[in-house]
Amino acid sequence: MTDSPTREIAPPKTAEELFGFLDALGIAHKTKTHPPVFTVAESVSLRDEIPGGHTKNLFLKDKKDNFFLLTVEEHAVVDLKTIHSIIGAASRVSFGKPEKLMEYLGVVPGSVTALAAINDTGHKVTIILDEALMQEEIINCHPLSNDATTSIARDDLIRFIEATGHTPLVLKVSA
């Protein structure tokens, strides 16, 4: 009897590993730690301390198990009934399950971030950045956990996502 090979799943990257990756790319970043925030409403108190565009992230899937990460400005309105036609989904979308969020992006609900692209080594998730958000010079994202906010230049965010092997789509996804 032979042992069947088991597929090792790499553990999610830590914030320190993320920062090392950004440093290796020559991408400037600044991080402010704060009490954990789980919603946009909870994070509003940080606005005076952290300038730039603040994000809201939606982890979505279609009926064919295609997964999408939409990163939009925190107050943006996204129509989940019609978004599938804009992002190229095979069908209407719903929220992805927390298990898939952890498996593909290595984060838990409340910590979803475009920076989690670093954990999607299998390239299972399409990364979509809202056109309106990308008007901001500085974009603020969680560094893989919701107890800090990392500020990064808009163009560097795109460069980072590309360095993870993803091709980010910049689309008008908010109303």
CATH no. for residue 151?
A: 3.90.960.10
Instruction: Please report whether residue 113 resides in a domain.
Output: yes
Mean pLDDT across the chain = 91
Q: Residue 112: which pLDDT band, with cuts at 50, 70 and 90?
A: very high
- What is the Cβ-side half-sphere exposure of residue 122, based on CA atoms within 13 angstroms? 14
Q: How far apart are CA 58 and CA 25, in angstroms?
A: 26
SS3 121: coil
Q: How far apart are CA 28 and CA 152, in angstroms?
A: 7
Instruction: Please report whether residue 2 resides in a domain.
Output: no
Instruction: Please report whether residue 166 resides in a domain.
Output: yes
Q: What is the number of domains present in the chain?
A: 1
Residue 31 pLDDT: 96
Q: What is the pTM assigned to this prediction?
A: 0.90
Instruction: Please report whether residue 78 resides in a domain.
Output: yes
CB of 116 within 8 A of CB of 31? no
Instruction: Please report whether residue 68 resides in a domain.
Output: yes
Instruction: Please report whether residue 108 resides in a domain.
Output: yes
What is the residue range of 76's domain? 15-171
Asked if residue 102 has pLDDT above 70, the reply is yes
Alpha helices in 44-150 (DSSP H): 83-87, 98-105
Residue 1 pLDDT: 46
Asked if residue 153 has pLDDT above 50, the reply is yes
Instruction: Please report whether residue 9 resides in a domain.
Output: no
Q: How far apart are CA 132 and CA 47, in angstroms?
A: 18
